[in-house]
């Protein structure tokens, strides 16, 4: 027998598979990891197929050295998925195969922990006989009684009962009463389960109807849905019931959330309901924990997986359901190579494995909603909040007027009043300020010079602490603020723009005695940093939570009645065709944090452009209105989903080299268009330029930006452009991005 093996080397010339002989006593299956001779080295590889014939003369063929695990680490369906992704992304299979297992598994870097396990060898009918036989040793009788339940017990458990039980266990083993074995031991992450959340509420009419729409598809094993449910409509409970039904049918489920750290409640709910049967996968787990969770899933001990983006590859056998919560979040697209969109991977997995796909959001991405309108997904609506609670009332405040009428505070008069009332009633408030630090930039009043990062083309942000320093939010560079302008020598240095630190300080000044928690990248760096702040806020340790967009995610704090958006225009002005979509999502999501308890919520949005259609639609929480207008705008301006954006990005510490290479690429594309006129027709726009971030981490950046029609040739152009990015040139980094997540 022979095996085709993909060897774990990422190199242009080894993108194909190699055939090895399978030694006679060895059993090998598709997806199994093996060690093989490769040149003069031993390499790891994954078996793609097992055949009984090979086209190479067999005397020259090498044999598989050993199997790395005695089970296929990569499920056959996931081998197929890796192959499909390699083809679509135009990248080596070895790269996509790596996505299918914990990285720690490669190169034998994780140790499997084992423990000694003991259990009765005889059935209950011989238990008395055993006790009688051991009547002279009270210790051995005690051990037998401990094991009377017939279950496996760790020797460590017995050590809590008596000193050094091993010699007696060995004796019992010799006498044939117990078995002592060395078994794998799995670390399980996560703190205590909050049992009170295990309570199952009676479903509302809307929840029941939604469930009824999806259940038939769960039974049939096909179907994809987009659930548009307003904030607080009880989507999570729908997911939980679906998972129950999936398990009942003997199938497994994967629940994707944007970021585990920001959704501790969701994880708690799932752990409370599914306990040991659930596994959590995310990047903050330790190496060993992640590997062990992965093993529990692979062995089928955990049938429910909750995790961030990469959990879409979890080795769940007999998959029945994938849920993607907050499907509009940008975190579902990986920015590392090989790039993938978890929503597309999930769709592919569901199709292949006969599972149901459910995307859900209060603010679906324009692309997903458009797909639903075209019939690619069944659209389900949950337009009302649980218990008939009203959506919060949103007021937009014109900050130009505030300024004209002499209010220079970061808080408008309405917001200040709302915060005051909220505090008097003993309720809580959340304030969104989508920029961390104290001042967003520092500039010279005499010549207008803005202090920038030496490594990146961005203004430095002023942060309090350590005597006050300027920080770069892209590369981490820090320096002391200048006393004189480095350009003209003037001492008229001024600080502009607010950040979260300034909002926090303004709260202390305007509301003496107020208790504030701040949540941004600066305050959440430690392990469980997010969870600690959220827990403190939940238990009432603060009146106000100030934070960046991380506070806008699916948090459910019933005592929050006021939400304030300090500067709604901030995301609106970003140079990205999705800036309007992102702003709508952010405003609607953060507004949705208010009034989730008994009391009605009040949301105050501060803007210098209150007449803007996006801000108005968000204020009305009118997704459809926003969608229709945005879709029309994109149709006219030829933006996705009507076209595809792509770019070839060149980065180099040597600006000249980057510029020269982007010109080379430009000419190569021109040549390509000459050879294939069909390509030119597909390409609506090809633009050579520096991206808005013209320098990043010390590297100059140039790009070719493409706007492509959606046609059969589009994929072929993408393949050709992707090939151009694979060329290895010393001193240059070349990236190809299809539908880039950021245009910066």
Length of the chain: 744
Are 648 and 665 within 8 A, CB to CB?
Answer: yes
DSSP code per residue over 311-377? GGG---SSEEEEEETTTT-GGGB--SSSP-BHHHHHHHHHHHHT-EEEEEESS--HHHHHHHHTTSS
Question: Does 459 sit near Zn ion (CB under 5 A)?
Answer: no
* Of the candidate residues 61, 145, 195, 447, the single one contacting Zn ion (CB under 5 A): 447
* Of the candidate residues 456, 507, 648, 669, the single one contacting Zn ion (CB under 5 A): 456
Helix (H, G, I), strand (E, B) or coil at 606: strand
- Give the shortest CB-55-to-ligand ADP separation in angstroms: 56
Instruction: Single out the segment in contact with Zn ion by CB under 5 A; choices: 256-264, 428-436, 440-448, 538-546.
Output: 440-448
- Give the shortest CB-516-to-ligand ADP separation in angstroms: 25
Token representation of residue 459: 């203004």
The per-residue b/e assignment along 714-723, b for 16 or more CB within 10 angstroms, e otherwise, is beebbebbbe
- Give the shortest CB-428-to-ligand ADP separation in angstroms: 15
Report the interhelical angle of 366-373 vs 623-637 (nearest 10°).
Answer: 90
Token representation of residue 607: 């803007």
Question: Does 490 sit near Zn ion (CB under 5 A)?
Answer: yes
Token representation of residue 438: 């104290």
Q: Which of ligand ADP, Zn ion, none does 201 bind, CB closer than 5 to 8 A by kind?
A: ligand ADP
Token representation of residue 415: 């917001």
How far is 714 from 213, CA to CA, in rounded Å? 36
- Give the shortest CB-257-to-ligand ADP separation in angstroms: 11
Which stretches of the chain bind ligand ADP, using CB under 6 A? 201-204, 207, 229, 231-237, 386, 554, 556
Are 577 and 634 within 8 A, CB to CB?
Answer: yes
Q: Which of Zn ion, ligand ADP, none does 185 bind, CB closer than 5 to 8 A by kind?
A: none
Q: Which helix (DSSP H) or strand (DSSP E) does residue 148 occupy? A: none
How far is 428 from 421, CA to CA, in rounded Å? 10
Q: Which of Zn ion, ligand ADP, none does 205 bind, CB closer than 5 to 8 A by kind?
A: none
Q: Which of Zn ion, ligand ADP, none does 231 bind, CB closer than 5 to 8 A by kind?
A: ligand ADP
Q: Which of Zn ion, ligand ADP, none does 488 bind, CB closer than 5 to 8 A by kind?
A: Zn ion
Instruction: Single out the segment in contact with Zn ion by CB under 5 A; choices: 34-42, 116-124, 317-325, 468-476.
Output: 468-476
How far is 377 from 227, CA to CA, in rounded Å? 9
Instruction: Single out the segment in contact with Zn ion by CB under 5 A; choices: 133-141, 476-484, 715-723, 727-735.
Output: 476-484
* Binding flags for Zn ion, 540-559, as an x/- string (CB under 5 A): --------------------
- Give the shortest CB-524-to-Zn ion separation in angstroms: 21
- Give the shortest CB-203-to-ligand ADP separation in angstroms: 5
Q: Which of Zn ion, ligand ADP, none does 446 bind, CB closer than 5 to 8 A by kind?
A: Zn ion
Nearer to ligand ADP, 96 or 361 (CB): 361
Q: Which of ligand ADP, Zn ion, none does 453 bind, CB closer than 5 to 8 A by kind?
A: Zn ion
Q: Which of Zn ion, ligand ADP, none does 447 bind, CB closer than 5 to 8 A by kind?
A: Zn ion
Q: Which of ligand ADP, Zn ion, none does 207 bind, CB closer than 5 to 8 A by kind?
A: ligand ADP
Are 508 and 464 within 8 A, CB to CB?
Answer: no
Instruction: Single out the segment in contact with Zn ion by CB under 5 A; choices: 414-422, 438-446, 496-504, 507-515.
Output: 438-446
* Of the candidate residues 118, 472, 533, 586, the single one contacting Zn ion (CB under 5 A): 472
Q: Which of ligand ADP, Zn ion, none does 386 bind, CB closer than 5 to 8 A by kind?
A: ligand ADP
Are 273 and 239 within 8 A, CB to CB?
Answer: no
How far is 123 from 179, CA to CA, in rounded Å? 12
Please classify residue 426 by burial: count the beta carbons closer than 10 Å to its beta carbon, then call 0-12 exposed, 13-18 middle and 19+ buried: exposed
Question: Does 452 sit near Zn ion (CB under 5 A)?
Answer: no
Instruction: Single out the segment in contact with Zn ion by CB under 5 A; choices: 120-128, 393-401, 483-491, 589-597.
Output: 483-491
- Give the shortest CB-331-to-Zn ion separation in angstroms: 22
DSSP code per residue over 550-564? GGSSS---TTEEEEE
Please classify residue 596 by burial: count the beta carbons closer than 10 Å to its beta carbon, then call 0-12 exposed, 13-18 middle and 19+ buried: buried
How far is 228 from 660, CA to CA, in rounded Å? 48
Nearer to ligand ADP, 102 or 232 (CB): 232
Q: Which of Zn ion, ligand ADP, none does 233 bind, CB closer than 5 to 8 A by kind?
A: ligand ADP
Q: Which of Zn ion, ligand ADP, none does 622 bind, CB closer than 5 to 8 A by kind?
A: none
Reported for 311-314, long-range contacts at CB under 8 A and 24+ positions apart, including other chains, are: 311/254, 311/256, 311/281, 311/282, 312/254, 312/256, 312/342, 312/345, 312/346, 312/349, 313/78, 313/81, 313/99, 313/100, 313/345, 314/254, 314/279, 314/281
Question: Does 475 sit near Zn ion (CB under 5 A)?
Answer: yes
Place of tokens 């709260």: 507
- Give the shortest CB-491-to-Zn ion separation in angstroms: 9
Nearer to ligand ADP, 184 or 209 (CB): 209
Nearer to Zn ion, 35 or 742 (CB): 742
Strands of the 378-382 sheet, one edge to the other: 278-281, 304-307, 252-256, 319-324, 356-361, 224-229, 378-382
Token representation of residue 669: 């594309």
Question: Does 477 sit near Zn ion (CB under 5 A)?
Answer: yes
Nearer to ligand ADP, 235 or 290 (CB): 235
Are 381 and 369 within 8 A, CB to CB?
Answer: no
Question: Does 453 sit near Zn ion (CB under 5 A)?
Answer: yes
Nearer to Zn ion, 378 or 449 (CB): 449
Instruction: Single out the segment in contact with Zn ion by CB under 5 A; choices: 104-112, 226-234, 444-452, 519-527.
Output: 444-452
Nearer to Zn ion, 359 or 444 (CB): 444
- Give the shortest CB-549-to-ligand ADP separation in angstroms: 17
Give, rounded to a whole angstrom, the gap between the first and last alpha carbons of the chain.
52
CA 338 to chain centre: 15
- Give the shortest CB-63-to-Zn ion separation in angstroms: 52
Question: Does 366 sit near Zn ion (CB under 5 A)?
Answer: no
Q: Which helix (DSSP H) or strand (DSSP E) does residue 219 occupy? A: helix 205-220
Token representation of residue 113: 């922990």
Instruction: Single out the segment in contact with Zn ion by CB under 5 A; choices: 272-280, 453-461, 517-525, 658-666.
Output: 453-461
Please classify residue 95 by burial: count the beta carbons closer than 10 Å to its beta carbon, then call 0-12 exposed, 13-18 middle and 19+ buried: middle
What residues line the site for Zn ion (CB under 5 A)? 444, 446-447, 449, 453, 455-456, 472, 474-475, 477, 485, 487-488, 490
């Amino acid at each position: 027998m022979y095996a085709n093996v993909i060897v774990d080397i990422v190199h242009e010339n080894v993108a194909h598979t190699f055939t090895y002989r399978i030694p006679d006593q060895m059993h090998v299956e598709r997806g199994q990891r093996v060690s093989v001779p490769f040149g003069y080295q031993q390499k790891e590889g994954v078996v793609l197929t097992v055949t009984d014939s090979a086209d190479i003369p067999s005397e020259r063929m090498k044999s598989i050295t050993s199997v790395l695990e005695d089970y296929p680490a990569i499920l056959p369906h996931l081998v197929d998925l890796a192959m499909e992704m390699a083809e679509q992304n135009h990248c080596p299979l070895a790269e996509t195969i790596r996505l299918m297992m914990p990285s720690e598994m490669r190169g034998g870097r994780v140790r499997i922990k084992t423990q000694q396990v003991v259990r009765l060898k005889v059935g209950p009918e011989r238990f008395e006989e055993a006790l009688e036989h051991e009547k002279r040793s009270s210790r051995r009788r005690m051990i037998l009684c401990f094991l009377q339940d017939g279950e496996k017990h760790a020797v460590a458990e017995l050590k809590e009962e008596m000193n050094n039980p091993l010699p007696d266990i060995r004796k019992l083993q010799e006498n044939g009463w117990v078995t002592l074995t060395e078994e794998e031991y799995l670390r399980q992450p996560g703190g205590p389960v909050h049992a009170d959340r295990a309570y199952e509420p009676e479903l509302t009419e809307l929840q029941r109807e939604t469930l009824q729409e999806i259940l038939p598809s769960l039974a049939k094993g096909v179907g994809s849905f987009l659930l548009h449910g307003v904030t607080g409509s009880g989507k999570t409970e729908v997911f939980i019931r679906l998972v129950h039904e999936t398990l009942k049918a003997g199938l497994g489920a994967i629940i994707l959330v944007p970021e585990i750290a920001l959704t501790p409640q969701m994880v708690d709910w799932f752990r409370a309901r599914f306990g040991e049967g659930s596994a959590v996968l995310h990047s903050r787990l330790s190496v060993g924990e992640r590997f062990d969770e992965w093993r529990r899933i692979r062995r089928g001990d955990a049938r429910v997986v909750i995790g961030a983006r990469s959990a879409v590859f979890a080795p769940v056998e007999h998959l029945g359901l994938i849920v993607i919560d907050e499907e509009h979040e940008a975190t579902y697209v990986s920015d590392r190579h090989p790039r993938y969109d978890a929503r597309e991977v999930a769709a592919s997995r569901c199709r292949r494995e006969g599972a149901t796909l459910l995307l859900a959001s209060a603010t679906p991405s324009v692309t997903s909603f458009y797909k639903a309108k075209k019939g690619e997904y069944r659209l389900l609506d949950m337009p009302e909040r649980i218990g008939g609670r009203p959506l919060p009332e949103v007021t937009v405040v014109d900050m130009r007027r505030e300024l004209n009428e002499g209010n220079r505070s970061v808080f408008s008069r309405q917001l200040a009043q709302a915060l005051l009332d909220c505090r008097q009633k003993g309720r809580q408030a959340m304030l969104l300020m989508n920029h961390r630090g104290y001042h967003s930039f520092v500039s010279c009043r005499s010549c207008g010079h803005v202090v920038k990062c030496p490594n990146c083309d961005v203004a430095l942000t002023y942060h309090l602490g350590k005597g006050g320093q300027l920080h770069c939010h892209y590369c981490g560079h820090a320096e002391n603020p200048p006393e004189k302008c480095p350009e003209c020598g003037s001492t008229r240095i001024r600080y502009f723009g607010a950040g979260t630190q300034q909002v926090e300080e303004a709260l202390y000044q305007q509301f003496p005695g107020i208790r504030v928690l701040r949540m941004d990248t600066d305050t959440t760096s430690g392990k469980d940093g997010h969870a600690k702040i959220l827990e403190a806020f939940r238990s009432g340790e603060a009146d106000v939570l100030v934070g960046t967009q991380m506070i806008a995610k699916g948090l459910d704090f019933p005592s929050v009645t006021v939400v304030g958006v300090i500067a709604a225009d901030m995301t609106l002005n970003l140079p990205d065709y999705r800036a309007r979509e992102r702003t709508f999502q952010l405003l609607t999501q953060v507004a949705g944090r208010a009034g989730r308890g008994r009391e009605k919520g009040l949301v105050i949005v501060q803007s210098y452009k209150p007449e803007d259609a996006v801000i108005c639609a968000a204020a009305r929480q009118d997704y459809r209105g926003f969608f229709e207008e945005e879709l029309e705008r994109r149709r006219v301006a030829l933006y996705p989903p009507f076209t595809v954006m792509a770019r070839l990005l060149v980065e180099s510490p040597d600006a000249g080299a980057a510029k020269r290479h982007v010109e080379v690429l430009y000419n190569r594309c021109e040549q390509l268009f000459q050879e294939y006129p069909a390509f030119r027709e597909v390409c609506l726009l090809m633009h050579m330029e520096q991206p808005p971030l013209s320098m990043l981490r010390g590297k100059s950046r140039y790009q070719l930006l493409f706007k492509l029609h959606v046609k059969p040739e589009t994929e072929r152009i993408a393949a050709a452009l992707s090939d151009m990015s694979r060329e290895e040139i010393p001193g240059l980094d070349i990236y190809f991005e299809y539908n880039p997540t950021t245009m910066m």
